[in-house]
Chains A and B, each alone.
Chain A
Amino acid sequence: MSQSHQQPALSKCPGCEEPLDAGDLFCGACGYDLSAVPARPGDRPTMAITVPPAGAAAPAAEAVRWPAAAETDSSDVPAPVHRPADLPGTDSGGRPLTGPEHGQQPVPEPTGGPGPVSAAGPVGGAESSAVPVRHDDRAAQDGAEHAGDFALAAPDPRTAEHAAAAPAAPAAGAKVCVACRSGRVDPDGYCENCGHAQPRERDHMEQELGSVAAVSDRGLRHHRNEDSFAVSSTALPDGSPAVVAIVCDGVSSASRPDEASAAAASAANESLLESLPRGTHPQQAMHEAIVAASEAVNALAQEPAGAMEHDAHRHQNAPACTLVGAIMAGELLIVGWVGDSRVYWVPEDRTQPTARLTEDDSWAAQMVAAGLMNEAEAYADERAHAITGWLGADAYELEPHTAAFKPDRPGLVVVCTDGLWNYAESAEEMAAAVPADAQQHPLRAAQVLVGHALDGGGHDNVTVALVPFAVRPQGAGSACETV
């Protein structure tokens, strides 16, 4: 997957980025003493500069990875098989969530992000290293890694040190600070020299699974990534594939928003992986998944926060997050949401109309819906982004919204947090930001969209999942029954 290539100790001056010749002792441009730069440890992970080729963007049916737990538990009430016509789902929540995996494959982002502040010396410039793709362990998804202790935040997403306590990580002593390039990283995740926090695994995450791809980034103004996502694919009972993408945005004003979003995304995903193969109608399954996610977030409120943290400001509210999800099942496109994360539809033929498929639970949306303000006025208001619906123990009333669509032409489903749509609010703007070849290369397109948000200022965490929707030609051997 990732490209690794050996690189001479320094190809550029750490101080001014001037290219160096082999054997230089000082930078020819700025006079930086190159001998002061410590040799990079040999076993240091290296960074993927190029995106793994989206070779898996083949027909979805072949790319599907089948989940392990696809059977209906015999003790369960057999789930009724819904027809796509029985649309609005009823709540059947209360199902306990025990969840197997979904593998996330964080790949550090090669560009973008602010320069790290360096107290001691020059900033390490473009890094040439590559990090082997790693699978997030379950502990990280449970939020244990982030439990009240964000010692591992990143000053700079460009660089690739993984300070997170992944089991395979090398000994802490082997790591060198990404900010000053001279201090080692202490066990708490800070540089022993300049004190800068090291990047966490979650600061930038990417995943590509079959035809669906997702990218999440800390952005430029937040000190940690409070967004989370889950993508997976499974099969309906008839054998036709179903693709799931869930995106969650932690509510910053609540406590432990990062844990909330991770728990919600994971719980919703697990719920869908369980119900879809059983034949539950996808829209009903989405409804149940949102309820399950809500319960997972509610459960966090009972857990005590990290012991060493006495941060009154952050501990006033129960953990909370938004959720938006899309399911591509047969010829149906199901969306579900709570909060202000969105789904856009961008047809492959850009001459066709694009659309936003969700209605925000937000102050601005309510103002517009009530006819009190027009959209421009509402979104100009400072209260525009106050959300009126969320997952969390302090939510007034959980109102999962779901909708079903039956696209008649191929297109791209963009599932994203406001960190992206703030920079491409209207459906047209979003379509303009999506690269033309997004259908074929969803991961690259997702990276481009995150880059769009970072270029715009990156004021919030940015997360986007892309689900290419292919309309199969008639009689192509699809097992999907048409209604």
Chain B
Amino acid sequence: MANFSKSTVPQFSVEVYQNAFLPEGGREVNAIVTVTSTGGGTTGGTPLADAGPSPGSGAGQGPGAAVVLMVDCSGSMDYPPTKMRNARDATAAAIDTLREGTRFAVVAGTHVAKDVYPGDGRLAVADAQTKARAKDALRKLSAGGGTAIGTWLRLADRLLNSADASIRHGILLTDGRNEHESPEDLRAAVESCAGRFTCDARGVGTDWEVKEVTGIAAGLLGTADIVADPSGLAADFTRMMENAMGKEVADVALRLWTPVGVEIRFVKQVAPTVADLTARRTEAGPRAGDYPTGSWGDESRDYHVCVLVPEAGIGQEMLAARVSLILPDPSGAGTPQTLSQGLVRAVWTDDMVASTSINPQVAHYTGQAELAQVIQQGLDARKSGDFDGATAKLGRAVQLASASGNQDTAKLLSKVVDVVDAATGTVRLKAKVAEADEMTLETRSTKTVRVKK
């Protein structure tokens, strides 16, 4: 742990928002856990282009980072040809954003994966020379072949784990469906890479499958987005890379300890996006389980924890769950480091006012999670021709987005439906919807806003 001195590890704080009071017979305890990491060597969001040299995982120089850029080079990237050109430019821009000393590689993805730079099955160390060579190699990229994203991920995994870097990140760009391998192959590849590196995924154009891209990002704890217009790629890649360079600590897990008899209903990340982590628990000692959260820079995320406690009489109090942030020992042998923790309590009361009030944070994020769900259901219904169902679901989405102040989502919704009355959720489906608008809504449906404080 010598490298994790105060100067480089962000400080984590955990805050718990809940109404601990339950009525007689009440069992369900909801809590919003806000995790904030600050300080350390993070930049607070400023660009890192001019950050000083940071040779790998050298002592005191911050954690070593390694990034693999996966660029779709399938034949469809040539239709229109600007797509391939923009992808090259975007990748070059991302390479420019690399911090000196970061290990990196570029993978050209078709029905097979090929590491086009440095090309020797290892990672290059970023400096002016290697960056220039990488950009040279990009110019030789040409479109042709199929799409088998699973092979790209497996190659990225091999490359990233050939180096000893604590922050391991991938950036994946695709423009088409994963047509040259089975969905099972892709799923297996994502599962095998989960926990080994994090990955942001981007779909360019409108010919790709939203669920494939969001599935990759969710499985690998990264972001998913659409870049409908290829000319927007460079800015997006730069932003993604800056974000990746801002990460200071990797493999952080949310550890949930629950007493005997307590049942976990769900554990979800609810901000900045909704992501259900319930099924991703790994047992960690008696009555404790870890949920992966990936790597952290200067940021704040919210989690919604819902547990069922055994019934208890009025006046009783118990600890329903203990939430902590865990950093595993790098050697894998020692005990993990607890970064911060918070307590979720349950108190039974006959005070109806206390037990029936809903914590505003819990209410807000319950609404945000429902918002993501009804958008997905509404778009699915629309695709399958169930226009009544789609109208009802998307109407509810408009209502939720408007009530919670999620203006970005409200704006995206208004491109798919005509809003008659946002407060009541009265909408009409638009007869003609641009495919890009529908895909944007679907991809970004999980984005949430935080509760107004």
Q: Do B259 and A195 have beta carbons less than 8 Å apart?
A: yes
**In the assembled complex, how far is the CB of residue B321 from the closest CB belonging to chain A, in whole angstroms?**
8
B318 and A155 contact, CB distance less than 8 A: yes
> Closest residue of chain B to A252, judged by CB?
B351
Among residues of A, the one whose C-beta sits closest to the C-beta of B20 is: A311
A219 within 8 A of B: yes
Q: Which of A193, A311, A459 contacts B19 (CB 8 A)?
A: A311
Residue of A119, A190, A194, A220 touching B315 (CB-CB under 8 A): A220
A218 CB contacts on chain B under 8 angstroms: 315
- B5 close to A (CB within 8 Å): no
Encoded as 1 (CB less than 8 Å from any A CB) or 0, chain B from 290 to 323 comes to 0000000000000000000111111111111010
For the complex, is B416 an interface residue (Cβ under 8 Å from A)?
no
Nearest-neighbor residue (CB-CB) of B311 within chain A: A117
B216 sits at the interface (CB 8 A): no
**Chain A residues whose C-beta falls within 8 Å of the C-beta of B262 in the assembled complex:** 119, 195
Interface residues of B in 9-58 (CB under 8 A from A): 15-21
Contact A220 B359, beta carbon cutoff 8 Å: no
Task: Say yes or no: B260 contacts A119, CB within 8 Å.
Answer: yes
Contact of B342 among A119, A153, A154, A308 (CB under 8 A): A308
Residues in A with CB closer than 8 Å to B144 are none
B350 at interface by CB-CB < 8 Å:
yes
> Are B317 and A197 neighbours in the complex by a CB distance under 8 Å?
yes
Write out the residue numbers on chain A whose beta carbons fall within 8 Å of the beta carbon of B343: 151, 188, 190, 308
Contact status B259-A117, CB under 8 Å? no
A58 within 8 A of partner (CB): no
Q: In this assembly, does B348 line the interface, its C-beta being within 8 Å of a C-beta of chain A? A: yes
User: Is the beta-carbon distance between A116 and B316 smaller than 8 angstroms?
Assistant: yes
Contact (Cβ within 8 A) A313 B353: yes
Taking the closest CB of chain A, its distance from the CB of B366, in whole angstroms, is 16
Contacts of B354 in A (CB 8 A): 313-314
Task: Name the residue on B nearest A307 (C-beta).
Answer: B15
**CB-defined interface of B353-384 with A at 8 Å, one 1/0 digit per residue?**
11001011100000000000000000000000
Q: Which residue of B lies closest to A121 (CB)?
A: B260
Query: A342 in the interface, Cβ–Cβ < 8 Å?
Result: no
**Contacts known (A120-B260, A313-B357); A308 close to B15, Cβ less than 8 A:** yes
Q: Once the chains are docked, how many angstroms separate the CA of A228 from the CA of B335?
A: 44
Please name the residue on chain B nearest to A156 by beta carbon.
Answer: B316
Tally inter-chain residue pairs, CB-CB below 8 A: 106
Report A156 CB to chain B, min CB distance, Å: 9
| Contact (Cβ within 8 A) A119 B17 | no
Q: Is B119 an interface residue (CB 8 A)?
A: no
Tell yes or no: B232 within 8 A of A by CB.
no
Q: Which of B17, B260, B310, B319 is within 8 Å of A188, CB to CB?
A: B319
Q: Are A223 and B348 in contact (CB under 8 A)?
A: yes
Contact A223 B317 (CB under 8 A): yes
Residues of A close to B260: CB separation below 8 A: 119-120, 180, 183, 193-195
Is B16 a contact of A120 with CB atoms below 8 Å? no
Q: Which of A139-157 contact B (CB under 8 A)?
A: 150-151, 153-155
A222 lies within 8 A of chain B by Cβ: yes
A119 contacts B259, C-beta separation under 8 Å: yes
Alpha-carbon distance A153/B17, docked complex (angstroms): 20
Given contacts A308-B342, A311-B19, A312-B359, are A194 and B259 in contact (CB under 8 A)? Answer: yes
CB atoms of A117 and B315 under 8 A apart: no
Collect the chain B residues with CB atoms within 8 Å of residue A221's CB. 314-315, 349-350
Cα-based distance from A314 to B349 in the complex (angstroms): 13
Residue of A whose beta carbon sits closest to that of B360: A312
Expressed in whole angstroms, the Cα–Cα distance for A312 and B351 within the complex equals 15
Q: B206 an interface residue at 8 Å Cβ cutoff?
A: no
CA distance A314 to B318 in the complex (A): 18
Q: Mark interface residues in A172-203 (1 if CB within 8 Å of B CB, else 0).
A: 00000000100100001011011111000000
Compute how far the CA of A431 lies from the CA of B278 in the bound complex, rounded to whole angstroms: 60
Can you name 16 extra interface pairs (CB under 8 A) apart from A155-B312, A194-B318?
A114-B313, A114-B315, A117-B310, A117-B312, A117-B313, A119-B259, A119-B261, A150-B317, A195-B262, A196-B259, A222-B349, A223-B349, A252-B351, A308-B342, A310-B361, A312-B360
Residues of chain B having any CB pair with chain A under 8 Å: 15-21, 258-262, 309-320, 322, 342-343, 345, 347-351, 353-354, 357, 359-361
Offer 9 A-B interface pairs, CB within 8 angstroms, sorted by A: A114-B313, A151-B343, A191-B259, A195-B319, A196-B317, A197-B319, A220-B313, A308-B16, A310-B17
Q: Which 8 pairs, one residue from A and one from B, show the smallest C-beta to C-beta distance?
A: A195-B259, A119-B261, A190-B319, A117-B312, A197-B317, A195-B319, A120-B260, A153-B317
